[in-house]
């Protein structure tokens, strides 16, 4: 094997190890977040006891002190963080208790048994769209109490990460649409606009988007 091939092999092996390590850490952090969330809800309905100095409720995304209970586990390798919100009293059994990717409406909420006496699983919920995912991730499959993340937890995290990517792409698309609409309105009022920026920053692409939007709005439907 030549030196260049050996160096490339080492680089690939190192990168693979880093990727595996980061994924394993993500799964373990996710497992911890889920465990804390489930414990707080079960403790809130008297099925478990609270630990010393543990916060019973609060909104982590608002930096309430409940965040201290899971802060060490909230960072993930995709560059994003998770938070949790736990409500008091009867609200603990509804969808206002959740885990979420910070600054998104992508929530994980508890699925209760028929008489709402205990949690039997978790499911995804898009709070902005008021849409609940039909699939439930059952606690018996997640095996939260196990020493290592189960295959079910790994799959659960991968799906949640995938939903985040889709959410962010849609958000960028909507922001781009708002930007184009803003320029269309300015162009209609002033009849000219000047797009400034360094080469490669998307001026030509933006100009084409503006033109397409104007044509679409001014061309009668056939």
For position 208, what pLDDT does the model report? 77
For position 212, what pLDDT does the model report? 77
- pLDDT tens-digit map of 162-220: 999 999 888 777 666 666 677 777 777 777 777 776 666 667 767 777 787 778 766 55
For position 16, what pLDDT does the model report? 45
For position 213, what pLDDT does the model report? 75
Dihedral sign (CA 173, 178, 180, 181): positive
User: What's the whole-model pTM score?
Assistant: 0.73
For position 74, what pLDDT does the model report? 97
- Residue 12 reports pLDDT greater than 60: no
Structural contact between residues 181 and 95, judged by C-beta atoms closer than 8 angstroms: no
**How many Cβ atoms are within 10 Å of 144's Cβ, its own excluded?**
19
With a CB cutoff of 8 Å and minimum separation 6, the contacts of 30 are 76, 82, 149, 153, 156, 157, 160
- pLDDT tens-digit map of 120-149: 999 999 998 888 998 999 999 999 999 999
Distance CA 102, CA 46 (A): 28
- Residue 28 reports pLDDT greater than 90: yes
User: Cα 115–153–46 angle (5° rounding)?
Assistant: 35
Give the per-residue SS3 of the chain: CCHHHHHHHHHHHHHHHHHHHHHHHHHHHHHHHHHHHHHHHHHHCCCCCCCCCCCCCEEHHHCCHHHHHCHHHCECCCCCEEEEEECCHHHHHCCCCEEEECCCCEEEEEEECCCCCCEEEEEEEECCCCEECCCCEEHHHHCCCCCCCCHHHHHHHHHHHHHHHHHHHHHHHHHHHHHHHHHHHHHHHHCCCCCCCCCCCCHHHHHHHHHHHHHHHHCCCC
Which of 77, 85, 41, 215 is closest to 158 using CA atoms?
77
Q: What is the mean pLDDT of residues 6-21?
A: 56
For position 34, what pLDDT does the model report? 98
- pLDDT tens-digit map of 50-101: 988 899 999 999 999 999 999 999 999 999 999 999 998 888 999 999 999 9
Which of 173, 156, 216, 131 is closest to 35 using CA atoms?
156
Structure tokens at 139: 């606690």
């Amino acid at each position: 094997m030549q030196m260049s091939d050996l160096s490339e092999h080492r680089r690939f092996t190192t990168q693979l190890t880093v990727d595996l390590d980061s994924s394993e850490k993500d799964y373990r952090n996710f497992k911890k977040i889920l465990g804390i969330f489930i414990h707080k809800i079960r403790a809130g309905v008297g099925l478990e006891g609270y630990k010393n100095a543990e916060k019973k409720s609060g909104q982590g995304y608002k930096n309430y002190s409940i965040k201290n209970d899971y802060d060490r586990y909230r960072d993930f390798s995709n560059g994003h963080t998770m938070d949790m919100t736990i409500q008091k009293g009867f609200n603990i059994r509804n969808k206002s208790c959740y885990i979420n990717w910070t600054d998104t409406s992508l929530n994980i909420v508890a699925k209760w048994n028929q008489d709402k006496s205990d949690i039997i699983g978790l499911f995804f919920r898009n709070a902005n769209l008021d849409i609940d995912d039909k699939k439930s991730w059952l606690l018996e499959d997640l095996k939260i109490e196990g020493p290592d993340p189960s295959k079910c937890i790994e799959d659960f995290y991968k799906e949640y990460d995938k939903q985040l990517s889709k959410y962010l792409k849609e958000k960028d698309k909507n922001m781009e649409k708002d930007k184009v609409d803003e320029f269309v309105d300015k162009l209609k009022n002033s009849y000219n606009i000047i797009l400034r920026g360094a080469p490669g920053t998307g001026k030509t692409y933006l100009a084409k988007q503006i033109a397409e939007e104007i044509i679409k709005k001014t061309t009668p439907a056939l």
